[in-house]
């Protein structure tokens, strides 16, 4: 049901005027108009009629990341029906913990489907942010309440205090602290999502975690591309045992999220963009050696090329980018990165319009 089904007459005129007066909502309305066909293609390829977002290459799994990502796009696109379906599926199938966070993964062929009750803080963060945006987009107070509960539980369960007293966003509620500190994924601390939730729900620790995450990313970028994972140990940054210290499929989200957050001049964006200039024509670097900057693997998927093109354009402060058209045949992850790159371009780097 859309907003015209809910209101009528003078009330409709007043409410619609208020909607368009809100700069973020008005911007989302423009994005929705521009990306309507892209959204339809993504939804048809990646979301089941039940609302389950399916990651085909990963055993046909669903996870809190996919549900949160899909819900965020649906909120921006103004698609309440898809939003509700994804939200309900997530709550019924992954909302089985004692708090407001989701179990991180659901496997279709496994008895019981959920092998691990641990959460993934990036999935929960994006779901909370999606619910907050949806509460404004659709005027539903219950969405805001749910967003606040998730944000509070993230602040309670997924924050680690570093040796300097500053908070870090842990990847999950358990399993990522060490004797010397904590293992983090730099891309999880999406600045805009954390700061908007912090402001809305008076949770300053989340805004501080966003700033600390940005500072760590800048420190890492001083010596190379920012890796997928790092251990923060007694004030130093070092490889995390058993985790990738290259910049791969995890780390590629960091420049994307920084640009989306209006931080195009962050050193991590500049470093990633510079590395992408060494990728062969028609490809994007998907795994980059942190120590040498060598390209270890490449991909031709449009989503990966979109992140590379957006990062390069933003880093060079150019007008116009080589972000490719949406490729509906790409699997869940690169397809989602493609949609995110298009949204990030519109919101965070409007001069990088695709040419």
Task: Sheet with 181-184: list strands edge to edge.
Answer: 181-184, 230-233, 236-238
State the residue range of the domain holding 139: 29-157
pLDDT, residue 23, reads 64
Q: What is the dihedral of CA 147, 153, 156, 160, to 10 degrees?
A: -90
Identify whether 88 is part of a domain: yes
H helix or E strand, kind and range, residue 160: strand 159-161
Q: pLDDT value at position 27?
A: 82
Local structure of residue 79 (DSSP, 8 states)? -
Contacts of 197 (CB under 8 A, 6+ apart): 125, 128, 129, 132, 147, 151, 203, 206
Instruction: Count structural domains, the chain.
Output: 1
Nearest to 37 by CA among 352, 250, 279, 326: 326
CA angle 181, 240, 276 (to 5 degrees): 125
What pLDDT is stored for residue 28 in this prediction?
87
Cα separation of the two ends of the chain? 35
Q: What is the pLDDT of residue 17?
A: 38
Tell me the longest C-alpha to C-alpha distance in the chain: 64
Q: Is residue 119 part of a domain?
A: yes
Which of the residues in the chain have pLDDT under 70? 1-23
The residue behind tokens 């045992």 is 241
What is the pLDDT at residue 3? 36
Q: Is residue 64 part of a domain?
A: yes
Vertex 303, ends 188 and 132: CA angle to 5°?
A: 45
Both structure tokens of 5: 């089904």
Question: Is residue 224, in this structure, part of any structural domain at all?
Answer: no
> Cβ neighbours of residue 269 under 8 Å, at least 6 residues apart?
255, 258, 259, 263, 311, 314, 315
With beta carbons less than 8 A apart as the criterion, state whether 214 and 164 touch.
Answer: no
E strand spans, the chain:
62-63, 105-106, 159-161, 167-169, 181-184, 230-233, 236-238, 284-288, 295-299
Q: What is the pTM of this model?
A: 0.93
Q: Is residue 118 part of a domain?
A: yes
Q: What is the pLDDT of residue 2?
A: 41
Rounded CA-CA distance 221/271 in Å is 6
- Confidence (pLDDT) at 25: 77
On whether residue 101 sits in a domain, the answer given is: yes
Q: What is the pLDDT of residue 159?
A: 99
149 belongs to a structural domain: yes
| pLDDT value for 18 | 38
CATH number of the domain that residue 113 is part of: 1.50.10.10
Question: Do residues 125 and 133 lie in contact, with contact meaning Cβ atoms separated by under 8 Å?
Answer: no
Q: Is residue 263 part of a domain?
A: no
């Amino acid at each position: 049901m859309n907003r015209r089904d809910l209101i009528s007459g003078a009330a409709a005129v007043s409410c619609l005027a208020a909607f368009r007066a809100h700069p973020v909502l008005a911007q989302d309305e423009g994005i929705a108009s521009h990306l309507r066909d892209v959204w339809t293609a993504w939804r048809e390829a990646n979301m089941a009629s039940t609302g389950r977002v399916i990651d085909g290459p990963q055993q046909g799994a669903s996870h809190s990341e996919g549900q949160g990502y899909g819900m965020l796009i649906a909120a921006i696109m103004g698609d309440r029906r898809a939003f509700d379906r994804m939200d309900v599926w997530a709550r019924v199938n992954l909302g089985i913990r004692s708090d407001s966070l989701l179990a991180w993964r659901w496997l279709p062929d496994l008895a019981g489907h959920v092998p691990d009750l641990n959460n993934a803080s990036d999935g929960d963060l994006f779901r909370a942010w999606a619910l907050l945006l949806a509460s404004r987009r659709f005027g539903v107070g219950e969405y805001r309440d749910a967003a606040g509960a998730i944000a509070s539980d993230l602040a309670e369960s997924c924050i680690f205090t570093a040796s300097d007293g500053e908070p870090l966003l842990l990847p999950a509620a358990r399993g990522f602290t060490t004797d010397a500190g904590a293992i983090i994924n730099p891309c999880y601390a999406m600045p805009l999502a954390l700061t908007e939730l912090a402001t809305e729900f008076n949770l300053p620790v989340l805004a501080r975690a966003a700033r600390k995450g940005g500072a760590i990313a800048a420190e890492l970028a001083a010596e190379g591309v920012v890796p997928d994972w790092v251990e923060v140990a007694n004030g130093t940054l070092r490889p995390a045992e058993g985790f990738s210290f290259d910049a791969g499929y995890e780390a590629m989200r960091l420049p994307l999220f920084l640009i989306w957050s209006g931080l195009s001049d962050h050193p991590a964006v500049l470093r990633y963009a510079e590395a992408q200039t060494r990728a062969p024509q028609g490809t994007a670097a998907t795994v980059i050696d942190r120590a040498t900057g060598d390209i270890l693997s490449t991909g031709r998927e449009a989503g990966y090329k979109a992140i590379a093109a957006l990062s390069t354009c933003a880093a060079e402060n150019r007008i116009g980018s080589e972000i490719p058209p949406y490729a509906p045949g790409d699997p869940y992850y690169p397809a989602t990165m493609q949609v995110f790159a298009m949204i990030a371009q519109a919101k965070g780097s409007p001069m990088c319009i695709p040419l």
